[in-house]
Chain A
Amino acid sequence: MASKIGVYVCHCGMNIAGTVDVPAVIEAAKAMPRVALSKEYKFACSDPGQEMIKQDIKAHGLDAIVVAACSPLMHEKTFRRAVEAAGLNPFLLSIANIREQGSWVTEDPAKATEKAKAIVAGAVFRAARQEPLEMRSVEIHRAALVVGGGIAGIQAALDLADSGIPTTLVERQPSIGGYMAMFDKTFPTLDCSACILTPKMTAVGQHENIKLMAYSEVESVSGFVGNFQVRIRRKAAYVDHTKCNGCGMCMEKCPYKAPSEFDQGLSQRRAIYVPFAQAVPNKPVIDPATCVRFKGKKCKTCIKFCEPGAIDFEQKDSVEEVTVGSIVVATGFQPMDAKKIPQLAYGRHPEVYTALEFERLNNAAGPTQGKILTKDGRVPQSVAILNCTGSRDTNYHEYCSRVCCMYALKYAHLIKEKLHEATVFDFYIDMRCFGKGYEEFYRRLQDEGVRFIRGKAAQVFGGKEYKAIANAAGFIDGLEDHQLVVQAEDSLLGKLIRVPVDMVVLTPAVEARADADEVGRKFLVSRGADGFFLEQHPKLAPVSTTNDGVYIAGACQGPKDIPDSVAQGSAAAGKALGLIARREVEVEGTTASVVDELCSGCKCCLTLCAYNAISFDADRHRSSINEVLCKGCGTCVASCPSSAIKAKHFTDEQIFAEIEGLMSM
C-alpha cells in the first residue's frame, strides 16, 4: 500500500478556484491518511505544473499521486505520462474530478468546497490501494474501412489509399457518390457538382488500394482498436459483375419500370438499372421489387440481351469478413420528410418541391434536361424558396441545418440565370452565410434582384383552395387555380403578406439517418440529443469518437456542406492513418483475472461474459480469463459469488476505499 501520497489541487485559472476554496482543500488533504504533501497550482496540466509533480516524486519519494482537477476523461493520460516520466507506474495516479463534477455544477462556494474535499478524500483513499499495472501492446492491422461512399467517405478512402493503406469502402447504394452526385451546381463558386465529383469517384473505382464494396452493408463489427473484424453483407445484384462489361443493353431493353430514386421519383428507371449514368461501379443491379421474375413471371429480356451472360437470378447475398486497424464512419444524413409539415402543402400540391427534387429538375442530366418546368410543362413566372423547413423549429429540429441558406441562394441564382423574367422570393428567418465567399455570394444575389423576405413562411395554399377561403382583404387579383399562395409575416414590415407564385421549393432539414441508432450501436459510437453521431470533443477531437480507432466524418456528425465534409473526410483519414502508422497501440491492462485459490468452479461467470473471454478448465475445476479477449467491464467480477475475480484497477478494495474516503468528509 502506498504510504507517501502527493496531492495536487489545480485552480484551473478561475474554473475551479472561482468556486472552490483551494487552500481549504489543501489543508484538508494534509490531514488525510498517508498524505505526504499537498500543494496547489494554477494550471496543473501545464508543463511547469507537470514538472513540479515529477520533481516532488523524485525529491520526496512519493509512491502515489492524486491530482484534483478536471475530469479523468480530459487529462488522466497527461498526468499518467508525467508520473511515468518520474519513474512511477502510471496506474499509481488517481484523479479527483472537482471541476466537471464540482466547481462547474455547484453555485454555493461552501458546498463546492465541501464536495471537493470529499472527492479528494475518495481519490486519496483509492490511490493508497492502487497497484502498478502494465500496459498491453497490441499490433495494429495495416488496413482501414470506410463506411459510406458520399463525398466525405470518398475523400477519406482516397486519402487512406493514396498513403498506401489497403482500404475497403462500403456503400449501401449500387453506386458511390451520395447526395453530391445529385446536385447540379455547388455554392458559392457554382462549380458543376458532377465535374468535380466524378473524377474522384472514378479514382475510387480504379484505385489499386481500394476495395469498393457497393450495394453492401456492414453487418457486424467485433474486436477493438487495431483489430476490428468486420462482416460485410454484399446484397445480391442478380448480375455477375465480374462478367458484366457495363454495356447497358439490359437496361435499355428491360420492359419494367419504377420511379428513379436518384431522380427523386421525377423520372423512371428500369428493373435492372444503374442509379445514374456516371455511377461507380457502373454495373447494373436488379431490383427484385420491380422485376417480374421475382413475382413468378417468365421474362427473359435481360438474359437474352446480355452478351457476356452476366445475369444470374440464382445469386444470393454473400458475406465477407475483413480485418482492419481503424474505421471511418461517414454514413451521412437524410433530408427530413417535408410531409411532416402539412401546412407547407408538400405532397398535396404538385408544384411544391423538396430541395433534392429541385436539384434534379435543374440538373442537365435530370428528368427535364435541366429545364425548370412545372409538372404540366409551363415555365414558372415566379418561384418561392422557403428556408428553414423543419430547421430552427422546436416542433421539428431545434438546430440550424447550415446548408439551406446557401443552396437557396444558389437556386435563386440558377433560376434567374435560366429564366430571366422570373421573380424569385426567398423567405428566410436569418441569412446565414458564414463560409468563405458566402457573404459575397449573398450580396451578389441581392444585386441580381432576388426578393428577400425576412419571415418564415407559415403556410402554402393551392390557388383554388385559396380562392375558396380568402375574404375581401386577402383577395389576390388574377390568381390562377394552378398557382400557389405563400403566406408569411414579413417581420421587417411587421405585416402579414400573401405572395402568389407558380412554384415553391422547400428546404427540408438535414437530419440524422433513420437507422443512425442501429449504425451507432454497431460501431459503438454514441449520438447527441439531435441524433447525430457524437465526436469525442466538440472542439479538440472533432472526428474522434469514444471508441478508439473509430472516426466519424461528414454529415453523420451534424449538418455540413461539401467543403466541411471533405475537410472532415481528410481529417478522419489522417487520424486513421496516424493510428495505423504507430504499428502497435498500448491498451490499458485493466482486465479481470481469476484468483485461483478462491474460485469454486461454480461456472456462474461463464455465461455472463459478452466477449466469451472466460473458459472453464475441467481438470483444475477453475475458470480462467483470456486477457486478450477481456475488455475489462467487470460484469463477471460483480457476479462472482466467491469474489474470486479481480478487476484490475477496479478491485473491491479500491472501490471500497474510495467510498470510505468519499464518506469521510
Chain B
Amino acid sequence: MSFEPRIVGILCNWCSYTGADLAGTSRMKYAPNVRVVRVMCSGRMDPTLVLKAFQEGADGVLLAGCHIGDCHYISGNLKTLRRIPLLKRVLVELGIEPERLRLEWVSASEGARYQGVVNEFVEQIRSLGPLDLEARRLPATASAS
C-alpha cells in the first residue's frame, strides 16, 4: 500500500481557516491528508504545538496565517515568521527534516491557494516518506547509554 502522509495543519481563524472553508464552499477537491487545528492567530503558533504534532506521529506540519500586513491582530504573523526559521534549526537537531514543516500565508479569499498549498505539501511529504520518529531515535539513545 502506498504511503499516505498524515499532516497536522494549524490555521489562523481569520484568514487561513476561512480560506480553507472557502475551498470547501467552492467544492474544490484536494488531498484529505491534512487535519486542521484552528487557532485565533498565527501568533499563537507555539513551537511546542509543532513538536507535539511530530511527537504524535504527524509526517508533516502545515502552518498558515494571514498574509504579512493583513494580520487580524496587526502583527501576530510577523512573530511567527521570525519564530519558524529557528524552529527549523531545532528540527534538524532532532533529526527531523525541516521540509516537514511549512509556513504559508493564505487569505480568506484564497480557497484555490489553500487547495494548491495542501496538494503540494502532501506530495512533498509523500516524497520524504514517513517520519517514523521511533526508528530515528535509536542511535541517539544508544550513544546516551
Contacts and interface: CB of A to CB of B under 8 A. Distances in A.
Q: Do A and B bind each other?
A: yes
Contacts of B30: 105
B37 A659 contact: yes
A631 B13 CA distance: 13
Contact of A659 (B41, B43, B53): B53
A524 interface: yes
B56 A650 contact: no
A526 B109 contact: yes
A638 B27 contact: no
Contact of B73 (A72, A100, A635, A662): A635
A656 B51 CA distance: 10
Interface in B67-82: 69-70, 72-76, 79-80
Given A105-B24, A526-B109, A546-B14, A97 B32 contact: no
Interface residues of A, number: 50
Interface string B37-61: 1111101111111001100111000
Interface stretch (A115-123, A373-381, A484-492): A115-123
B109 A662 contact: no
A206 B142 CA distance: 85
A527 B107 CA distance: 9
A631 B32 contact: no
Contact of B29 (A106, A527, A546): A106
Given A100-B20, A107-B29, A526 B107 contact: yes
B117 to A, nearest CB: 13
Contact of B43 (A107, A526, A634): A634
Given A528-B109, A534-B108, A635 B79 contact: yes
Given A590-B40, A634-B41, A647-B44, A521 B20 contact: no
A639 interface: yes
A528 B112 CA distance: 12
B51 to A, nearest CB: 10
Contacts of B121: none
Contacts of A468: none
B37 A634 contact: no
Contacts of A107: 29
Interface residues of B, number: 51
Contacts of A72: 38
Contacts of B39: 634, 650, 655
A658 interface: yes
A327 interface: no
Given A104-B25, A521-B69, A546-B108, A633 B40 contact: yes
B6 interface: yes
B36 interface: yes
A101 to B, nearest CB: 6
B29 A631 contact: no
A46 to B, nearest CB: 20
Contact of A662 (B18, B37, B43, B108): B37
A637 B37 contact: no
Given A105-B24, A106-B32, A637-B44, A659 B17 contact: no
A370 interface: no
A618 interface: no
B56 to A, nearest CB: 4
A609 to B, nearest CB: 10
B101 interface: no
B21 A71 contact: yes
A621 interface: no
A493 interface: no
A364 interface: no
Which of B20, B38, B83, B110 has the most C-beta atoms of chain A within 10 angstroms of its own C-beta? Answer: B38
Contacts of B74: 610-611
B41 A526 contact: no
B46 A637 contact: yes
A473 interface: no
A608 interface: yes
Interface of A: 71-73, 97, 99-102, 104-108, 111-112, 114-115, 118-119, 122, 521, 524, 526-529, 534, 546, 590, 608, 610-611, 631-635, 637-639, 647, 650, 652, 655-656, 658-660, 662-663
Interface of B: 6, 8, 13-15, 17-18, 20-21, 23-25, 27-30, 32, 35-41, 43-49, 52-53, 56-58, 69-70, 72-76, 79-80, 83, 107-110, 115
5 closest A-B pairs by CB:
A634-B44, A100-B24, A635-B43, A633-B73, A638-B46
27 contacts: A100-B24, A101-B36, A102-B24, A105-B27, A112-B32, A114-B32, A115-B35, A524-B72, A528-B109, A529-B109, A590-B40, A610-B76, A632-B40, A633-B43, A633-B44, A634-B40, A634-B41, A634-B44, A635-B73, A638-B45, A638-B46, A638-B83, A639-B79, A647-B44, A662-B8, A663-B8, A663-B57
